[in-house]
Structure 1
Amino acid sequence: MVEVFAVASGKGGTGKTTSTVALGMALADRYDVTVVDADTGMANLLFHAGLSDAETTLHDVLAADAPVEAATYDRFGMTVVPCGTSLDGFRDADPGRLRDVVAALAEDTDIILLDSPPALDSRTAVLPIVLADRIVVVLQPTIPAISDGLKVQEYATTYDTDVAGLLFNKVRESESIEQVSEKTERYFDGPTLASVPESERAREARRAGRPLLAHAPECEAATAYRAAAEALTVQNGTAADAADRFQSAVIPESL
């Protein structure tokens, strides 16, 4: 079985990469998980996974300079495919090759999580949503973040990608997440998976170059991410199903 999720948000700063890695680690207790940094312009997954010294990255694969196997690393119970951070690497990368990369990875894993770019103003940014079976929308409980999250859902609907659920992140104690999620679910197609509290431990983990669930596995935020992974339904599929979807996906030439 294999299912591809795009972890997406309509704006930066929501903690999307932290969420992607945390969900990956939590899901890895039950599944074979591969996490891909599909944000080829502003990549930072390599810092979260302790891979800042990785010699080969997704940039190299998308530039046809290396096979995808060379850019895969075993970290924290997951397979991680980081992306480089250089402007030259971004310039040389062909985003159209992401389809082949995901198809190759789908042959040997249960779940693929695509850490998606935060904006939807380019072909590169939309690609992970186009290639995914479903999306997880990461939101902060604010009107601008929710509004931008709705734009993500609109794009997903356009490309026949369903919404697996909503993940509220960086929630402060003073914010009534129950009221927010109740109102929000009227407009989104998926359920609320969890509410992750704002956490100093998450900031510590980023500085340490370690995923939150490895750095502080018992903190409230880590517990919330495990609850989100438990609430996330995983649908049965096959690598052949995924290959068919990738081949039929209509990839925009431009936006």
Structure 2
Amino acid sequence: MVVTYTIASGKGGTGKTTLSVNLGTMLAHYGKETYIMDTDMGMANIGIVLGLENVPVTLHEVLAGKASISEAIYEGPFGVKVIPSGISLQGFQNADPEHLHDVMKEIIQQCDILILDAPAGISRDGVIPLAIADEVILVVNPEISSMVDALKTKILTELVGGKIKGAILNRATLEKTDISIHKIEEVLGVKVIGIIPDDPNVRRASAYKTPVVVKYPNSPAAVEIKKIAAEIAGVDVKEKELNKDSNEKFLDRLTSSIIKRRK
């Protein structure tokens, strides 16, 4: 059975695209035929993140009726399939997001998991990925403003008939923040399914246009992303397979710090 997940956030800059790419990469690594589609057609970033910004055919051309979806599929790390949107404003203007559902019908015949990287905020183009996915995962940063924006996205998702799987707290730090796991679950009314620490290795990997789970697999962020992907994939990944090394103490302190603020 194919499962479609939309990765969404209420505002830009939460790390949504980076998370989409890394989760998709690990799901492919865990044996799932995984596709990542960039539905943020106005501010397309997946192609840039993976070094696919100059490919000849993107989702823009497909939605404009100028190419087939098979022409816009590219292979990424660990065999993950990537469908980028273009960076051309002309291509964006020509693309018709109403055709996205038809494109998905073709894609789901080829994969186990489809990840949609949704546009940030509330817009006409952003509603479609929220409505057509099986489940929506909200990406939240440790700030009140991020949580409020995520709440708006959750409400919109439910209004259009979508379902929220849970929230991921991204860029969590050891310092005192404006937000806690308890606060997220209380305000959003959803479970926090993962905590990813603020990790400079994510930015370092981005400079190489490579997912952090590939470039720095032992880093704190990579280890936590692997855990989330394993949970989604339904695979039993032993601690030693997560390459959990000296970062373990940092992660334990981070988790302990966040849990304490729940009480």
TM-score of the alignment, normalized to the shorter chain, above 0.5: yes
Higher relative contact order (CA 8 A, sep 6+): 1
Matched, 1:164 2:165: yes
Letter of the aligned partner of 2:54 in structure 1?
Answer: D
The equivalent residue for 1:202 is: 202
- Stretches of structure 1 that go unaligned for 5 or more consecutive residues are 235-255
Provide the rounded CA distance (Å) in 1 between the counterparts of 2:192 and 2:207.
29
Letter of the aligned partner of 2:128 in structure 1?
Answer: L
Mapping of residues 1-255 of structure 1, within 5 Å:
1-28=1-28, 29-76=30-77, 77-120=79-122, 122-175=123-176, 180-232=180-232
- Stretches of structure 2 that go unaligned for 5 or more consecutive residues are 235-263
Provide the rounded CA distance (Å) in 2 between the counterparts of 1:233 and 1:144.
31
Partner SS state of residue 11, structure 1: coil
Letter of the aligned partner of 1:93 in structure 2?
Answer: A
Provide the rounded CA distance (Å) in 1 between the counterparts of 2:43 and 2:108.
24
Partner SS state of residue 135, structure 1: strand
The equivalent residue for 2:260 is: none
Contact kept? 1:58, 1:82, Cα under 8 Å: yes
Letter of the aligned partner of 2:18 in structure 1?
Answer: T
Provide the rounded CA distance (Å) in 1 between the counterparts of 2:25 and 2:190.
22
Provide the rounded CA distance (Å) in 2 between the counterparts of 1:110 and 1:161.
20
Contact kept? 1:163, 1:189, Cα under 8 Å: no
Provide the rounded CA distance (Å) in 2 between the counterparts of 1:115 and 1:193.
18
Q: CA offsets per residue over residues 125-165 of structure 1, 9 Å max, x none?
A: 11110111110100001100000001111011112211111
- Give, in angstroms, the shift of residue 115 of structure 1: 0.3
**Identical residues among aligned pairs (%):** 34
- Give, in angstroms, the shift of residue 176 of structure 1: 6.2
Partner SS state of residue 36, structure 1: strand
Provide the rounded CA distance (Å) in 2 between the counterparts of 1:14 and 1:175.
18
- Give, in angstroms, the shift of residue 66 of structure 1: 0.2
What's the C-alpha RMSD, in Å, of the aligned pairs?
1.5
The equivalent residue for 1:247 is: none
Contact kept? 2:47, 2:53, Cα under 8 Å: yes
Contact kept? 2:154, 2:164, Cα under 8 Å: yes
Provide the rounded CA distance (Å) in 1 between the counterparts of 2:177 and 2:156.
28
Provide the rounded CA distance (Å) in 2 between the counterparts of 1:38 and 1:117.
7
- TM-score of the superposition, structure 2-length normalised? 0.84
Q: CA offsets per residue over residues 65-99 of structure 1, 9 Å max, x none?
A: 00000000111121100000111001111111111
- Give, in angstroms, the shift of residue 208 of structure 1: 1.1
- TM-score of the superposition, structure 1-length normalised? 0.87
Letter of the aligned partner of 1:45 in structure 2?
Answer: I
Contact kept? 1:138, 1:149, Cα under 8 Å: yes
Provide the rounded CA distance (Å) in 2 between the counterparts of 1:114 and 1:130.
11
Instruction: Answer with 72-81 or 182-191: which moved more.
Output: 182-191
Provide the rounded CA distance (Å) in 1 between the counterparts of 2:199 and 2:13.
14
Provide the rounded CA distance (Å) in 1 between the counterparts of 2:23 and 2:90.
31
Q: Say how many residue pairs are matched.
A: 232
- Give, in angstroms, the shift of residue 200 of structure 1: 1.2
The equivalent residue for 2:261 is: none
- Give, in angstroms, the shift of residue 123 of structure 1: 1.4
Q: CA offsets per residue over residues 150-199 of structure 1, 9 Å max, x none?
A: 1111011112211111111111221469x711121123343212111111
Contact kept? 1:37, 1:43, Cα under 8 Å: yes
Larger-gyration structure (1/2): 2
Letter of the aligned partner of 1:158 in structure 2?
Answer: L
Provide the rounded CA distance (Å) in 2 between the counterparts of 1:183 and 1:232.
24
Contact kept? 2:141, 2:147, Cα under 8 Å: yes
Instruction: Answer with 224-233 or 69-78: which moved more.
Output: 224-233
Instruction: Answer with 46-55 or 148-157: which moved more.
Output: 46-55
